[in-house]
Each structure stands twice: as C-alpha cells, then as structure tokens.
Amino acid sequence: MDIKKLYEERYVIEEMDRFEDYERNRLLARVLVHLFKPGMRLLDMGCRDGVVAEYFQNLGCLVSGLDISERALEMARARGIKDLYQGDLEKPPLPYSDKEFDIVFWGDNIEHLFDPQVVLREVRRILKDKGTLILSVPNMGNLFYRFYYAYHGMFIRTEAPATDPWHWSHIRFFNKKVMREFLLSEGFVLTGFWGCSSRKVLDICARIWPSLFGSIMVISAQKML
C-alpha cells in the first residue's frame, strides 16, 4: 500500500487552517502554553499545514516539522516554518539526532498509523533526557461514544471524511488506560491528561472529567531515564 498516495488523496488541503478554530489548539493555548519556552527545540510530527508549528514558533521555540504530504509542507513553508522534512513516520530512523528535542508534539496522527510503537520508540530516541511528549488523539472513552456503541453496535466515526467504516483511516483506538500502557511500553510516564470538545457544554464538562467528556484527549508524558 502506498501510504503517501493514500494520505494525499484523502487529505487534500484546500486552504490553511486557523489555529483557534480547533478545540484541541485552544486547549494547548489555555493549559500547556507554559511548557513552550523561547529557545526550546521542538518537533511537530505530522505537522500538516504548519498551523500549530507556527504557534510554537511565535512563542519563541525553534521548530522543526515533519509530514508525509509535500502539499502540506508547502503550506507550512508559506507560514514561515523553515526546518521541514518530507517523510513517513513509520519508516525509521527519523532524520534527527539522538536527544535533539526538548519537546515532541504528536498531534492527531497516531490513530492513522499501522505501527505506532515504532514511532514512539523513535520519539524516545530523539527526545532529550526527561524531555516531553505532547500527544493528542480521539478519546474512545468518551461517554457519548460508549453510549453510541451500546446503541448502534459499532464505533462512532471519529474522522472528518464521511466514509464507510472499512474505508476509515482511523485504524487505532485509544482511551486513557490504553494510552498510559502504550506510553509505558517505551519508557514514558504520563504526566498530564486533558480533554476537550467542540460542543461548549461538553467542553466545560471535559475540564472536570476529561476522560468521560473529552472527544479529544491531550496528553503530556515524560521520557524516563
């Protein structure tokens, strides 16, 4: 299977995203902004059009971006992101040195991968000792998703393109428990867990009960020595 071709066909980017339009990004700005300090080396894995990389760069971080889509990287370059690399996350090694980055941001990508553990192993290699991984992914522990499955007998569609289940590109499903075990498998400890939703009432609830009301979960994890 040509993963690059599949990505380009299903995720053609027509126009640039606005950072504040996505609830996950608003959560980053509200809760995690203190982590991004000027001069930090930061990698945005699966950077897409560079909307989040641009935000990090505006905070003073030294940002690198990686994506499989050449079109996406053209748009990231137009945002002023200079250190960009086109490549497949699942074909290690990544083009970075050992212990190069203070932070790796892995946003809304892991659910698309055949072998996310290979990628997590590379993240550990390129992160500095006690470096931080920030990861976002659809939260299958969401209470509404649980009711949906109980009623319909199938997973809810968590991706934007309206396709049949056998055409979904979301092929991995996570909740808080699974994510904690996944991180531990490669020497990471979960240090923070947040949830957000595009619906205002649910987003407020997610600030109190993130694992139950967040449709998207955002996680911070530290590389253990």
Print pLDDT tens along the chain (225 aa): 666 766 666 655 666 789 999 999 999 999 999 999 999 999 999 999 999 999 999 999 999 999 999 989 999 999 999 999 999 999 999 999 999 999 999 999 999 999 999 999 999 999 999 999 999 999 999 999 999 999 999 999 998 777 888 888 899 999 999 999 999 999 999 999 999 999 999 999 999 999 999 999 999 999 998
Whether 111 and 158 have beta carbons less than 8 Å apart is answered as yes
Cα→Cα distances 144→87, 140, 150, 155, Å: 36, 9, 10, 11
Structural domain containing residue 73: 3-223
As separate numbers, helices (DSSP H) first and strands (DSSP E) second, the chain gives 9, 7
Q: What is the CATH number of the domain that holds 34?
A: 3.40.50.150
Cα→Cα distances 26→23, 30, 148, 197, 203, Å: 5, 6, 26, 10, 11
The structure tokens listed for 221 are: 């994890």
In the chain, the number of structural domains is 1
pTM (2 d.p.): 0.94
CA–CA dist 184, 182 (Å, integer):
6
Q: What is the largest CA-CA distance in the chain?
A: 50
pLDDT of residue 149: 94
Q: How many CB atoms are located within 10 Å of the residue 69 CB?
A: 20
